[in-house]
């Protein structure tokens, strides 16, 4: 099978900044038409690297449907990374008590997760017969092995140290995952913030080993009930709670959409990565993101 050339284009011109005055002058010279001549690489490609992106698809079969499966998987990887970027920014803001500033990256993260959910629609055409035409060629390859998805889970507070073991032969990836696992999750930052704002959370909860997954605690639930009891317009913690809830809801939708996609394409067959497939995914959904934000609503 012909291999795709992954070498970068020879033109590597950087994007050159332009002022509003320069843009206006260029439009006047062009008579309102777009610029069609450039001295070197097209600026859009220099910024987006589109020519590189479109060389990254290397299907293993001649089946035309495999390209959808491969590219949707790559799109999801990009969304995983983008969402992690937003959550890390929110962490920095919360650590510095900039609650208002943290709302923007959290809202963007929820929108990115919404886009991630929409990506599943590109695979709704796939039946078991469609998937089986190229599935065997994937060998043990499985979305379970996505390092960026593990970063996303760890940032959201879903922590299982065993899940980084597959990456031990990739030192940089492994070390980055270990660092994320050893650092506080977004939820850990939220708990510390609640304590700094006067909510009575026990020391053993705040000082625990953050590599161990947080277990729901009545003191955290009580704190959120108190937060939501204050309906005033200056209650930034309540706004934070709603932004976090949207992130958790969109992430939960992605996990459910994953379950449905597996049911649609392979039923209850064993997974490519060695798991029980559908049954393993269903069990994993029992671990809830930001659990006290949900349980507190019963007491409100």
Q: Which residues contact 20 (CB under 8 A, 6 or more apart)?
A: none
83, 110 contact by CB (below 8 A) = no
CA–CA dist 37, 77 (Å, integer): 34
Closest CA to 113 of 244, 245, 257, 251: 251
Max distance between CA atoms of the chain, in angstroms, equals 69
Tell me, rounded to whole angstroms, the distance of Cα 97 from its chain centroid.
Answer: 24
Q: Is 217 annotated as a binding residue?
A: no
Rounded Cα gap, residues 280 and 167, in angstroms: 20
Q: Following DSSP, what letter does each residue of 193-253 receive, concatenated? A: HHHHTT----HHHHTS-TTSPP---HHHHHHHHHHHH---TT-HHHHHHHHHHHHHHHHHH
Q: Directed axis angle between helix 99-119 and helix 66-95, to 10°?
A: 170
CA distance 263 to 277: 9
Query: Cα torsion at 78, 118, 268, 162 (round to 10°)?
Result: 30
On whether 85 is known to bind a ligand per the annotation, the reply is no
Residues marked as binding for heme?
Answer: 258
Per the annotation, where are the binding residues?
135, 258
Binding residues for substrate: 135
């Amino acid at each position: 099978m012909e291999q795709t050339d992954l070498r970068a284009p020879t033109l590597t011109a950087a994007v050159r900044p332009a002022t509003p005055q320069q843009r206006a002058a260029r439009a006047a010279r062009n008579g309102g038409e777009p610029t069609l001549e450039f001295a070197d690489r097209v600026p859009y490609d220099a910024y987006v690297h589109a020519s590189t992106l479109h060389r990254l698809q290397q299907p293993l079969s001649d089946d035309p449907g495999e390209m959808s499966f491969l590219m949707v998987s790559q799109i999801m990887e990009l969304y995983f990374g983008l969402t992690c970027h937003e959550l890390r920014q929110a962490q920095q803001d919360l650590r510095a008590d900039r609650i208002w500033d943290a709302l923007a990256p959290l809202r963007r993260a929820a929108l990115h997760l919404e886009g991630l959910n929409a990506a599943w629609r590109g695979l709704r055409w796939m039946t078991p017969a469609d998937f089986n035409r190229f599935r065997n060629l994937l060998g043990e390859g499985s979305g379970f092995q996505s390092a960026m998805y593990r970063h996303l889970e760890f940032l959201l507070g879903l922590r299982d140290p065993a899940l980084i073991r597959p990456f031990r032969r990739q030192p940089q990836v492994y070390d980055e995952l270990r660092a994320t696992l050893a650092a506080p999750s977004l939820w850990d930052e939220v708990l510390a913030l609640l304590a700094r704002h006067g909510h009575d959370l026990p020391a053993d909860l705040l000082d625990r080993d953050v590599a161990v997954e947080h277990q729901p605690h009545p003191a955290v639930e009580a704190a959120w009930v108190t937060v939501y009891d204050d309906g005033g317009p200056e209650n930034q913690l309540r706004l934070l709670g709603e932004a976090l809830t949207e992130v958790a809801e969109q992430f939960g939708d992605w996990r459910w959409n994953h379950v449905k996609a597996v049911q649609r394409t392979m039923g209850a067959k064993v997974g490519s990565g060695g798991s029980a497939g559908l049954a393993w995914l269903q069990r994993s959904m029992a671990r809830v993101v930001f659990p006290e934000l949900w349980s507190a609503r019963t007491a409100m």
